[in-house]
């Protein structure tokens, strides 16, 4: 349960083809009564260590109390199913970022079928 920076949802497609860009949005709500600084972070779990990060255009924002802010990011789809880990942090009175919440979402690799030809027939033939 988040203290101040509650991750509401991760918006991303359910599947993507290998090598394609996957855009994601992490929606984080400030549950505090007044504005606080919120930061988003993200990592990809699919077998690599350490987990590769997710690029966010604007990872920090001052968010008014009770407001949900959308953080946009992206990554390149790996060759297998990946689990997105999104993290939220709030800026404390001590001048440090504090980890607050985590949410995950899994994205499958779109299965790409090799090119196959099934049949061919001659429909017409004419002199030109």
Partner 1 sequence: MGAVYLPSQFGLLLLPLANVQVKPGDKLRITCRYSHVGQADSQPLYAAIGNDGWAGFNEVLHGSKTISVPEDTSWDYHEEYVDITITTAISAGFYDLYAKIGGTFPKVISPSLLDVVEVLAEIPDSEFGEISITDYVKV
Q: Which residues here bind partner 1, judged by CB under 8 A?
A: 112-128
- What residues contact 37, with CB distance under 8 A and at least 6 apart? 60, 61, 62, 63, 90, 91, 97
> Which helix (H) or strand (E) is 35 found in, with range?
none
Least Å distance, CB 19 to partner 1, is 13
Q: Are 107 and 23 in contact (CB under 8 A)?
A: no
| Minimum CB distance to partner 1 smaller for 49 or for 115 | 115
| Minimum CB distance to partner 1 smaller for 93 or for 123 | 123
CA 104, chain centre distance (Å): 9
- What residues contact 128, with CB distance under 8 A and at least 6 apart? none
| Minimum CB distance to partner 1 smaller for 15 or for 45 | 15
Least Å distance, CB 29 to partner 1, is 38
| Minimum CB distance to partner 1 smaller for 94 or for 125 | 125
Least Å distance, CB 4 to partner 1, is 45
Least Å distance, CB 104 to partner 1, is 29
d(CA 85, CA 113): 29
């Amino acid at each position: 349960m988040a203290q101040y920076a509650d991750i509401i949802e991760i918006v991303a497609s359910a599947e993507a083809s290998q090598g394609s860009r996957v855009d994601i949005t992490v929606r984080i709500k400030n549950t505090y009564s007044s504005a606080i600084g919120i930061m988003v972070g993200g990592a990809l779990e699919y077998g690599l260590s350490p987990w590769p990060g997710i690029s966010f255009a604007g990872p920090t924002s001052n968010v008014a109390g009770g407001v949900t802010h959308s953080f946009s990011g992206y990554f390149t789809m790996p060759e297998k199913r990946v689990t997105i880990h999104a993290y939220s942090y709030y800026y404390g009175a001590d001048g440090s970022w504090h980890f607050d919440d985590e949410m995950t979402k899994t994205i499958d690799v779109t299965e790409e079928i090799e090119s196959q030809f099934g049949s061919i027939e001659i429909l017409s033939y004419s002199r030109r």
